[in-house]
Amino acid sequence: MDDNIRGESGGYIGQSVPRREDKRLLLGEGTFVADIQLPGMVHVAFARSNLAHAEITSVGLDAVRAMDGVIYAASGADLADELPPINGMQVVTPQGWRDRVDTDILIPDQPLIPHDKVRYVGEAYAMVVADSRYIAEDALELINPEFVPLQPLPDAQSALDEGAPLVHEHLGRNVAAFLHTKKGDGAAAMETAPHRLRRQFTHHRYAAMPLECRGVVADYDSRTDTLTIWSSTQVVHWVRREVATALGMPEERVRCVAPDVGGGFGGKGHVYPEDILIAYLARRLRRPVKWVEDRHEHILNAAHSRDNVYDVEIGFDDSGRILAVTSSFLVDSGAYTPVGAGIAGNSIAHMLGPYDIANYETDCKIVLTNRTPNAPYRGAGRPEVGFAMERAVDLVANALDIDPFEVRLRNMITADRMPYDVGLTYRDGVPMIYDSGDYPQALNRALEELGGLAAIRERQKAALAEGRYIGLGIGCYVEGTGVGPFEGATVKIDPTGKIMVATGACAQGQGHETVFAQIAADLWQVPIDDVFVTVADTAQVSQGYGTIASRSTVTASGAIQGASDEIQKKVFAVAGHVLEAAENDLELRDGGVGVKGVPDLHMSYRDIAQAAKPGWDHKRPDGVEAGLEATSYYVPPTVTWAYAASAAIVEIDRETGRVEIEHFVEVHDAGTLVNPGLADGQVKGGLVQGIGGGLLEELAYDDQAQLLTGSLMDYLLPTASDVPPITVVHMETPSPLNALGVKGLGEGGAIAPPVVIANAVCDALRPFGAELNSTPVRWGDVAAFFGDDPYAQAEA
C-alpha cells in the first residue's frame, strides 16, 4: 500500500483503501476463538433444557464425574453461592431518558446457570469439562436431571393472559417494562382527523445468525493472578467488567480480547453467561478452558430478535397528510432481556421516521415469555417500527387512491427544515433533532434508479393487461447512529515514530483496522502503513464501550481525534523547542513536524519521540512531561442521523405466489464516508440480511414454546441465488455533530427490506385489495389471492 491511494486532497479519508485485514483472512491465517489452542486446554459442553418451562428438581452428576476424560461438572446449584447472576440490564438507560419517557422497568437478572427453573428451550442447566468436546458431549448423556414441567408461555399474548404463570416469580408480573411517550396530542388529533385507519402489524422473530457461532477461551495465569479471555464478542470491556465483578477481581487483572470475529450483527453485543463461566472455570481448574458453541446451540441460545406486534391507528386528511399516529406494541422478549428496554426504546423514538407528524403517542410492553431471550440485531427496533409505519403509510395512500410515493413526499420533512426538532427524546436522553439530510431527494433518487414513477406505473398497467403482477414498494427511515455513552482510544507515538492507535471498538468484519488507520494517518499526515491499529483488547485501552448500534466510526474517530489532539500539543512543544521555532509556525507534514514554508526544518516523529523520552538527555522544554501517549474518551453530544429511501420492484408468479425481486434500490446517507468501498459493503450486506428477514428467515415456535427451526436446514439464510439486483446510491450529507461529518451505517441496510417487499407485494396485488401486514412474506399467502385453482378459466 502506498501514497498512490491518497485522494486529491492528499488524504485517506474518502478513499476506498484496500483492507489490511484481508491478507490474513484470505490465507486462512485469521484467528477466530475456535482456532486458539493452548497446552493443556480442556473443553466444555453445556447440558441444555429440552423443556421451555420447568422446575429443576435435581441434576445428578455422579455418573458424569466418574467418566473417563471428564475433569469437572457443575449444575446451577453447585455454582449458586459462588457466582451471582448477570445484572439484568446490561445497557443502563441514562437519567435524561428516564426523565422524559414514561418507564416502568423491572428487568430480571440472568443466572449463569439456573438452579431453580429453566425458562426456555436451550437454557443451560449444567456444564461439563472434559478432555475433548466429543467426550464432553458423551458425558452430557450421563447427566440425570429431574424436571417438573410447568405451563410454557409460547408467545407474548399467552404471557399476558389472566392466570398465566410467571416466568420470573420475584418480579410479580410478566411485563419486564412498560414504556410510554408522546408528542402533541395523539388522541385529540385522531378524534378530529377526517380519516382514520387501524391495523395490526406483526414483525416476526428472526436473528443475527452470524456464520461463526459464539465461543470463549479463558486462561488463568497464577503467577500474575490474571485472567485472559478470548471471546467472540462485540463488547470486550463489558465482558471484562462482568467477569471482574463476578470473580471479585480488579478489572485490570482481567483481560478480554475479541480476536477475529466471524460476524456479530448485534447478536454478540452483550455479555452471555458463558463469557463468565468459562473464565471462572479457567481460574478454578488452573487450565486453559475452551467452549465453542455448535450451530444448534446457537440457534436455541444466542439472542433472537424482532418479534413485535403493533396495533396502530393513523389519522389523516384528504390529501394524505398524516395528522396523528398512535400505537401500542408488544415485544416478545423471551425469558430474559439482556439489553433491557433498548430495542423498544429505539422503536418508540423512530416511529415517525422522516415525516413531519405533530401528534404521536405510543406505549409498549416488553413481555417475558418462554422463548429464547431477545436482544438487538441489526436495526434493533427500527425494522419493526419501520414495518408498521411504512405499511401504514401505504394503507393511507391506498385509502385515498393517491400514489404511496406522493403521500410520502407530502409528509416528509424537507431539507430546508433542518435541523428539525422531532419533539421526542432519544435513548441517550437528549431531545431528538434531525441534524442534516434531504429525505425527499433520497426518495426521488430511489425512484429514478428504478426508472421513474411514471414509467413504473405504466409498466405495471401493461403487465396487468397481460395477466402479470408487478409491484412497487417503498420504505423510508431515519436512523439515530453513533450513540454514546462514550468510546475510548489510546494513541501513542512509538519510539520508532509509528502511530499506535488502540480503541475499544470491536470488529466483526467492518474493517475497523483499516478505517481507523485512515483517520489516524490523515490526522498525523503519515503514510497509512505507519499507523498500527488495535481493536477489541481491554489491555490496550483502559475503558471502552464496543461495537453495537452503528456507533464505531463516529465514536472511535472522536476518541482517536481527542487523544491525537492532546499528543499533538506536546509534539509541537518538543519540535518547537528542538527546531527553535514558535509553535504557530509549525505544521504536521511528511511523517513529522516542520516549520511552515521551510522545507529543511523538519523533525520526524521518531526523532520527536526520542526527544520526548523520560530520564537523562531528553530534549523536552521545561514543563513538558515525557512520553507521547494519551487516552481520550469521546462522549458524543448525541446521535447523528443517517437515513435512507428504499424501493423495489417485484413480480409475482401467480401460479406459485413466488415473489421475485426485480431490482432493489437503496439511497443511503451516512454523512462523510471514510472508506466508501467498505461503506458500500456494509449497506449491501445489511440489505441482503433484510431481504432474508422479509422472505426467508424465521424462528418459529409451537404452542409448547418448542423451536421448530433448530438448524440451518430450516432457518433459511439468503444464498447468492437469493440476492436480487441491488443498487445502492450513497449520498454524503456531512453531520454537523462531529469533526469528520460522519454518521453511523452498520445497521441501515437491514431496516427497510421487509417493509419494502411487503409494500411491493401488496402493490402488485392491489387488484385484489390485498393486505399483507406481517412478516415474513410467504409465497403461500400471496398465491392464495389468486384463488384456489391456478388454472381456472376466468381471469381478472
Residue 790 interacts with other proteins (CB under 8 A): yes or no: yes
Residue 213 interacts with other proteins (CB under 8 A): yes or no: yes
Which three-class secondary structure state does DSSP give residue 163?
Answer: coil
Q: Which of residues 122-151 bind other proteins (CB under 8 A)?
A: 133-134, 137-138
Q: How far is the CB of 701 from other proteins (least distance, A)?
A: 10
Residue 508 interacts with other proteins (CB under 8 A): yes or no: yes
Residue 768 interacts with other proteins (CB under 8 A): yes or no: no
Which three-class secondary structure state does DSSP give residue 100?
Answer: helix
How many angstroms from the chain centroid is the CA of residue 73?
35
Burial 128-167, CB ≥16 within 10 A → b, else e: bbbeebebbebbbebbebebeebebbbbbebbbeeeeeeb
Q: Which of residues 601-660 bind other proteins (CB under 8 A)?
A: 655-658
Residue number with CB closer to other proteins (616 or 791): 791
Residue number with CB closer to other proteins (593 or 770): 770
Residue 582 interacts with other proteins (CB under 8 A): yes or no: no
- The 418-457 site mask, x for binding other proteins (CB under 8 A), equals ----------------------------------------
Residue 1 interacts with other proteins (CB under 8 A): yes or no: no
Residue number with CB closer to other proteins (210 or 475): 210
Query: Rounded to whole angstroms, how far apart are CA atoms 195 and 189?
Result: 11
How many residues bind other proteins (CB under 8 A)? The answer is 79
Query: Rounded to whole angstroms, how far apart are CA atoms 280 and 70?
Result: 17
Query: Rounded to whole angstroms, how far apart are CA atoms 563 and 769?
Result: 59
Residue 28 interacts with other proteins (CB under 8 A): yes or no: yes
Q: Give the residue, chosen from 5, 25, 160, 409, that forms a contact with other proteins under the rule CB under 8 A.
A: 25
Query: Rounded to whole angstroms, how far apart are CA atoms 474 and 486?
Result: 35
Q: Give the cell for residue 764.
A: 402488485
Residue number with CB closer to other proteins (363 or 653): 653
Q: Which of residues 233-252 bind other proteins (CB under 8 A)?
A: none
Residue 48 interacts with other proteins (CB under 8 A): yes or no: no
Residue by residue, DSSP assigns 14-75 as TS-PPPSSHHHHHTT---BGGG---TT-EEEEEEE-SSSSEEEEEEE-HHHHHSTTEEEEEE
Query: Rounded to whole angstroms, how far apart are CA atoms 427 and 363?
Result: 15
Query: Rounded to whole angstroms, how far apart are CA atoms 707 and 196?
Result: 38
Residue number with CB closer to other proteins (68 or 416): 68
Q: Give the residue, chosen from 2, 4, 8, 27, that forms a contact with other proteins under the rule CB under 8 A.
A: 27
Residue number with CB closer to other proteins (454 or 720): 720
Residue number with CB closer to other proteins (283 or 290): 290
Residue 687 interacts with other proteins (CB under 8 A): yes or no: yes
Q: Give the residue, chosen from 2, 600, 789, 795, that forms a contact with other proteins under the rule CB under 8 A.
A: 789
Residue 351 interacts with other proteins (CB under 8 A): yes or no: no
The Cα-based distances of 647 to 27, 411, 693, 722 in angstroms read 38, 17, 16, 17
Query: Rounded to whole angstroms, how far apart are CA atoms 704 and 596?
Result: 75
Query: Rounded to whole angstroms, how far apart are CA atoms 70 and 63?
Result: 10
H-run or E-run covering 522: helix 512-524
Q: Give the residue, chosen from 415, 629, 709, 768, that forms a contact with other proteins under the rule CB under 8 A.
A: 709
**Beta-bridge partner residues of 742:** 671
Query: Rounded to whole angstroms, how far apart are CA atoms 83 and 80?
Result: 6
Q: Give the residue, chosen from 549, 688, 764, 770, that forms a contact with other proteins under the rule CB under 8 A.
A: 688
Q: How far is the CB of 691 from other proteins (least distance, A)?
A: 9
Pick the closest to residue 388 from 664, 668, 101, 751 (CA basis): 751
Q: How far is the CB of 782 from other proteins (least distance, A)?
A: 10
Q: How far is the CB of 298 from other proteins (least distance, A)?
A: 9
Q: Any idea of the CA torsion for 230, 233, 237, 242, to the nearest 10 degrees? A: -80
Residue number with CB closer to other proteins (720 or 794): 720
Q: Which stretch binds other proteins (CB under 8 A): 302-310, 625-633, 638-646, 704-712?
A: 704-712
Residue number with CB closer to other proteins (35 or 607): 35
Residue 209 interacts with other proteins (CB under 8 A): yes or no: yes
Q: Give the residue, chosen from 576, 760, 783, 785, that forms a contact with other proteins under the rule CB under 8 A.
A: 783
Residue 714 interacts with other proteins (CB under 8 A): yes or no: yes
Residue number with CB closer to other proteins (153 or 213): 213
Q: Give the residue, chosen from 490, 510, 774, 775, that forms a contact with other proteins under the rule CB under 8 A.
A: 510
- Find cell 430450516 and name the residue: 714
Residue 546 interacts with other proteins (CB under 8 A): yes or no: no
Pick the closest to residue 670 from 478, 384, 418 (CA basis): 478
Q: How far is the CB of 725 from other proteins (least distance, A)?
A: 10
The Cα-based distances of 64 to 47, 51, 112, 297, 706 in angstroms read 12, 21, 20, 21, 27
Torsion angles phi and psi, residue 535, rounded to 5: -120, 165
Residue number with CB closer to other proteins (320 or 685): 685
Residue 676 interacts with other proteins (CB under 8 A): yes or no: no
Residue 4 interacts with other proteins (CB under 8 A): yes or no: no
Q: Give the residue, chosen from 363, 406, 722, 732, that forms a contact with other proteins under the rule CB under 8 A.
A: 722
How many angstroms from the chain centroid is the CA of residue 7?
31
Q: How far is the CB of 795 from other proteins (least distance, A)?
A: 13
Torsion angles phi and psi, residue 765, rounded to 5: -95, 15
- Find cell 484467528 and name the residue: 31
Q: Which stretch binds other proteins (CB under 8 A): 29-37, 222-230, 439-447, 472-480?
A: 29-37
With contact defined as beta carbons under 8 Å apart, do 66 and 138 qualify?
no
Q: Give the residue, chosen from 19, 48, 270, 304, that forms a contact with other proteins under the rule CB under 8 A.
A: 19
Pick the closest to residue 500 from 546, 540, 547 (CA basis): 540
Q: Give the residue, chosen from 152, 210, 353, 753, that forms a contact with other proteins under the rule CB under 8 A.
A: 210
The Cα-based distances of 453 to 61, 457, 666 in angstroms read 67, 6, 15
Neighbours of 114 (CB within 10 A): 22
Radius of gyration in angstroms for the set of CA atoms belonging to the chain, rounded to a whole number? 28
Residue 708 interacts with other proteins (CB under 8 A): yes or no: yes
Q: Give the residue, chosen from 252, 712, 766, 767, that forms a contact with other proteins under the rule CB under 8 A.
A: 712
Q: Which of residues 49-108 bind other proteins (CB under 8 A)?
A: 68
Residue number with CB closer to other proteins (168 or 298): 298
Q: Give the residue, chosen from 282, 500, 726, 764, that forms a contact with other proteins under the rule CB under 8 A.
A: 726
Q: Give the cell for residue 711.
A: 438448524
Q: How far is the CB of 793 from other proteins (least distance, A)?
A: 9
Q: Which of residues 249-308 bind other proteins (CB under 8 A)?
A: 260-263, 265, 294-296
Q: Give the residue, chosen from 1, 148, 462, 717, that forms a contact with other proteins under the rule CB under 8 A.
A: 717
Residue 794 interacts with other proteins (CB under 8 A): yes or no: no
